[in-house]
Structure 1
């Protein structure tokens, strides 16, 4: 069986970085064997403070003009002491001082050190950010998403800032109405106009959200925010009618998904036991989950998976639970399939990278991160980490306790993530080795699945 997570990076035990070193292909998400050691850097800083600070204070004291009056003497000493303390703090604290730190802190340090990297922590958020929509809509989206962070403040929430964010989004929506609607294809204009009106004045629109914020009811604000963001996503999906980039010529023979799709998977217990309902209800011998697959960021991977689903490749497939993942059995030979090149879309880029994992230590992060509970990705090929398995996929059960600095998976950027579990996430943790995929169906997105006329033999020869 191909190892789902045969990454080429493990965490080194330094303050900021992940250093490359081989990872045993037989295991998943190798954890650090020992805590990182800060002795060297600590010793260096202690030496600087001892040799620099005390001597500096001593030299400052000895250089004061004895003729100064006591007030001037004290003022001079105070200024020098403050300067010394600032130097000391600069050595010991990672916080920026007067904006100078940005001159020498690398992007990787900023990404991995910060406890709030703003990496999407839900599949819904990651999928919304992945939509290649109109720039005006992205400004509206970003303004609203910032409110999610403000709502996490435990006591006195900054409702004034929240209101300003919504008013900013509302102003952009009104001022750029023509641009927003012009980005929607002609056959979808009517639906787009309805969604636009809902965003402005609807029950879950921006005007209603401002009213909820003024009442300072966090529950109503949270519900209104979710409704507004859902409307934003629906509008953006209308604008993104296909891929925003051209695929490389050598990959045009692969199946591809030009947009979004939804797959429904029904899982049965293999030992006769039952699944527990999310909130009460009857015990069930089978359970259904849904995953949204994203062709905007991973068209080849999502397209190949959709093709396998429609051909019945996963019907009856057994599941195995391994460290932080649920993976399908090796189905090689069951159906005709191909190895798709590793496909990862970096944040801030317009097209995916192929056969090249991301370097998280250099500040690279994917649009579709692995570090989300319920992320769906392809395993690696048995022969090369530059290719995905032709059949095996896995659900990643992200656990922050087993992640690296910044809350990122140790294997972030190393696998082709192509979607997220959006319904039935509570089922994933109940799956055991031996459970079976009763059926897998592509219930939405068939019209976006493009199957080239060339057969699989042509694809194999091209790889």
Structure 2
């Protein structure tokens, strides 16, 4: 079904608002948002993804530089994130997004998300996303305009850890890496999806993530969904910009986590 012109404008305004978070060319994470490359349905229709012709194989991940140095989740895990004293249960899917899920679980186990702020909440003119995970937000003195530009600094490499865009198409054995896809993914942006925010560069996700506040199918194939809220979505719906994560803990499936090789 085609979007009415007014609906199309609303969509562009929401996405455009998210892109205003930063525009630095020096740091790719400065425009981190769940819509910085999927600007509109019209754009997607006019330019086909290079991944359309890609046939995922068991060796697909081996073509991505540095992927063996990233944590993985081989199976599923449960994370309980507490916000303002209320729990949000998240099922993390390492079967279909092993690198993205592994990165998230690793950061949870390291306590990276504890105390961080949800710096972007978009509910008007229609429900969109709740976004957080910028490590800079732990410091209450960080300027508001700077939030949304940071990622996790890995102490072993002394720089920001970035993970490749990882999306598994339906019917594929393995995910496609480092590129968007036009085929329907296994993990879609349905209500309660948890996905990684990134800049316009596909492999720029680090620690920032977002909750989908509605079915956001226009983001499918462009951003990496890796988990779903299974309980406590009412808590997500109450999150306001500036609210902090009390804590995040792995409560099940920790044995499926594999550290970097």
Q: TM-score, with normalisation over the residues of structure 1?
A: 0.40
Aligned residues: 196
The question of whether the paired residues in 2 share the 8 Å contact of 1:9 and 1:18 is answered with no
1:11 paired with 2:11, answer: no
Distance 1:352 1:309, change over 3 A: same
User: Over aligned residues, Cα RMSD in angstroms?
Assistant: 2.4
Greater RCO (CA < 8 Å, at least 6 residues apart): 2
1:393 paired with 2:214, answer: no
Equivalent in the alignment of 1:279: none
Distance 2:76 2:204 in 1: 20
Equivalent in the alignment of 2:184: 365
The question of whether the paired residues in 1 share the 8 Å contact of 2:60 and 2:177 is answered with no
2:246 to 438, 450, 455: 438
1:422 to 230, 236, 251: 230
The question of whether the paired residues in 1 share the 8 Å contact of 2:113 and 2:133 is answered with no
1:374 paired with 2:197, answer: no
State the Cα distance separating 1:11 from its structure 2 match.
Answer: 2.0
Output one character per residue of 1:156-177: Cα deviation in whole Å (capped at 9) or x when no partner.
xxxxxxxxxxxxxxxxxxxxxx
Question: Based on CA coordinates, which of the two structures has the bigger radius of gyration?
Answer: 1
Distance 2:152 2:203 in 1: 19
The question of whether the paired residues in 2 share the 8 Å contact of 1:289 and 1:425 is answered with yes
Distance 1:289 1:345, change over 3 A: same
The question of whether the paired residues in 2 share the 8 Å contact of 1:325 and 1:394 is answered with yes
The question of whether the paired residues in 2 share the 8 Å contact of 1:290 and 1:424 is answered with yes
Equivalent in the alignment of 1:292: 91
| Structure with the largest fraction of strand | 2
Q: Which aligned runs of 4 or more in structure 1 are off by greater than 3 angstroms?
A: 17-21, 244-247, 332-335
- Gaps of at least 5 residues in structure 1 are 22-243, 269-285, 400-407, 454-463
State the Cα distance separating 1:335 from its structure 2 match.
Answer: 4.5
Aligned runs of 1:158-173 on 2, under 5 Å? Answer: none
State the Cα distance separating 1:388 from its structure 2 match.
Answer: 4.0
State the Cα distance separating 1:393 from its structure 2 match.
Answer: 0.6
